Amino acid sequence: MNDMSPPVQPQQSSMRYGILVIAILGVLALSVVAYEQLGSTADAPAETATTESSATSSPVVTTTTQETTVASFADGEYTQVGRYTSPAGPEEIVLSIILQDGIITDSSLETRATNPASINFQGQFKGGYKQLIVGKSIDEVELDVVAGSSLTPKGFQEALEKIKQEAATT
Amino acid sequence: MMRQEIKWSFEAIGTSWEISLYQPVTTQQYEQLQTSIHQKIAEFDLTYSRFRLDSIILQLSQPILSGIQSHSVEITPEGIALFDIYKELYTATKGLCNPCVGATLNGLGYDSQYSLTPGKMSAPPSFDVVTLDGVTLSTTQPVCLDFGAGGKGCLIDILANILESQDITSYTINGSGDIIHHSDAPLRVGLEHPVQNDTIIGITSLTQGSLCASATNRRQWRGYHHIINPHTLTPVRDILATWVIAPTTLLADMIATCLFLVPPEPLKEIAEFEHMIIDAKGKIDISKTFSVEWVV
């Protein structure tokens, strides 16, 4: 049956990961893994004020918790250099995003590594699936073909339609 | 880039195909090619499809009469490579990649009628019950074989051989996102967003070779989709999409599916490949030599 000799061993360096953070659709939780505070060109998010009572019998001290997740970012364009260490060594990327009403409306990425490795980003569940990075419409980009899941066979499509109709009436 | 192209689009085995030739052919040659290709696709479908009741491999799902040790059918010679890679990956994935999963998928509703109604699901038998001797495929118990993980890739390689045998060396065969490309000019392949299907997240340039993509977004029904973990009997939830570039389309197709079931490491024993995987948390795992032009 199978008398093929084992294939050539792959190179050690064939798989390495790095960390980058890219655009997210919808209300964001920007990861601070590779970044320090965003906001180089616009107002920094307001910190919750610390309040302390002046001397009374029972002072109430409120401490500030640094917000690391959802914060209200002012509209504007932000650029940050992200540095991280991959197993291949230190790497850098430059991420620019444009925020409007807390939503990323555009972004660009300059990878400074010669071998871009892997990319981490956070998404958001929507109907059981997370929204991922902002994509570009297929029409906007010059390409020859698209690779994704295979188109569903027509019979499958029809069956699916029947199910949807059935679900709508029950 | 400008490229002289003869493009032929057609529907076959339930999906859309596009074959592009980048060198001139005579009308007679072209017509002969189309005939050979259609014939080959029909033969492959008749032999290996789980979805047609007259298929050859479906005969192995018949009950075995008492007193008889096994069933056998004759497959085509191209099926040998297909069977062998399934055996290797069955071992490498510790049984997670198992073509005996046909009955399980039927139980989920992904059957020849596309009933898409989940019913009783059963664990698949061990792939060890199936053996191949030359072109004789035998089983010691009834088994419904599903070659969905590698069948299309295998067929694409077969069609590429038909082109090559006619001295056509510059071409693209695109079987709905599973692609083989040979040409001086690279092919710009858009990588489809696994959730928003009318967008792409990046472009990779395929120079020479095969690229296959797998994702679970399209074939979904009632909370199920078509890539099942045969040990848990549930659809794989933690991976959304995979792309693989490998030396053959058969390998690329098989590995793209296996990456839903296992990480890349155990598969590296079988072949060299480049990959990109997007998981349900939004993490992208991309191998070093898989270069992508991101479009964000």
* pLDDT tens per residue, range A108-135: 555 554 444 333 332 222 222 333 445 6
**For residues B67 and A115, what is the distance between their CA atoms, to the nearest angstrom?**
62
Spatial contact of A41 and A74, defined as CB atoms under 8 Å apart: no
Read off the pLDDT of residues B190-240 as tens digits, 9 standing for 90 and up. 999 887 778 888 899 999 999 999 998 777 666 667 888 999 988 898 898
Extract the tokens encoding B261: 């079931």
Say yes or no: B138 contacts chain A, CB-CB below 8 A: no
Residue A6 has pLDDT above 70, yes or no: no
B271 with A137: Cβ contact below 8 A: no
Chain B closest-CA separation from residue A111 CA (Å): 10
- Minimal Cα distance from A147: which residue of B? B177
Spatial contact of A66 and A49, defined as CB atoms under 8 Å apart: no
**For residues B142 and B49, what is the distance between their CA atoms, to the nearest angstrom?**
16
**For residues B241 and B122, what is the distance between their CA atoms, to the nearest angstrom?**
26
Q: Which residues of chain B have a CB within 8 Å of the CB of A107? A: 296
In the three-class reduction of DSSP (H, G, I as helix; E, B as strand; rest coil), residue A105 is classed as strand
What ranges make up the beta strands (E) of chain B?
6-12, 15-21, 71-74, 130-133, 136-139, 171-175, 178-182, 187-192, 199-206, 209-215, 220-221, 224-225, 228-229, 234-235, 239-246, 274-279, 284-286, 293-294
B272 with A14: Cβ contact below 8 A: yes
Chain A closest-CA separation from residue B122 CA (Å): 22
| Amino acid letter for position B95 | G
Q: Which B residues 208-267 touch A at CB under 8 Å?
A: 211-219, 221-222, 240-241, 243, 264-265
- Minimal Cα distance from B87: which residue of A? A2
In the three-class reduction of DSSP (H, G, I as helix; E, B as strand; rest coil), residue B43 is classed as helix
A121 with B133: Cβ contact below 8 A: no
Cα four-point dihedral sign B230, B233, B238, B239: positive
Of B88, B213, B272, the CB nearest to A149: B213
Sheet-wide strand order for A76-86: A76-86, A89-100, A103-111
Which of A110, A121, A119 shows the shortest CA–CA distance to A81?
A: A110
Q: Which residues of chain B have a CB within 8 Å of the CB of A2? A: 84, 87-88
Read off the pLDDT of residues B71-107 as tens digits, 9 standing for 90 and up. 999 999 999 999 999 999 999 999 999 999 999 888 8
Q: Look at residue B66 in the predicted model and tell me its pLDDT.
A: 83
**For residues B238 and B230, what is the distance between their CA atoms, to the nearest angstrom?**
15
Say yes or no: A145 contacts chain B, CB-CB below 8 A: yes
For an interface test with B, the pick among A17, A105, A146, A161 (most B C-beta atoms closer than 10 Å) comes out as: A146
Say yes or no: A123 contacts chain B, CB-CB below 8 A: yes
| Amino acid letter for position A74 | A
**For residues B225 and B244, what is the distance between their CA atoms, to the nearest angstrom?**
20
For an interface test with B, the pick among A19, A107, A150 (most B C-beta atoms closer than 10 Å) comes out as: A150
Q: Is A11 exposed, middle or buried (0-12, 13-18, 19+ CB in 10 A)?
A: exposed
* ipTM of the complex model: 0.78
Which region among B56-60, B178-182, B194-198 has the lowest average model confidence (pLDDT)?
B194-198
Cα four-point dihedral sign B225, B230, B234, B237: negative
User: ∠B125-B243-B207 over CA atoms, to 5°?
Assistant: 130
Q: Which A residues 25-64 touch B at CB under 8 Å?
A: none
In the three-class reduction of DSSP (H, G, I as helix; E, B as strand; rest coil), residue B161 is classed as helix
Q: Look at residue A87 in the predicted model and tell me its pLDDT.
A: 56
Spatial contact of B50 and B146, defined as CB atoms under 8 Å apart: yes
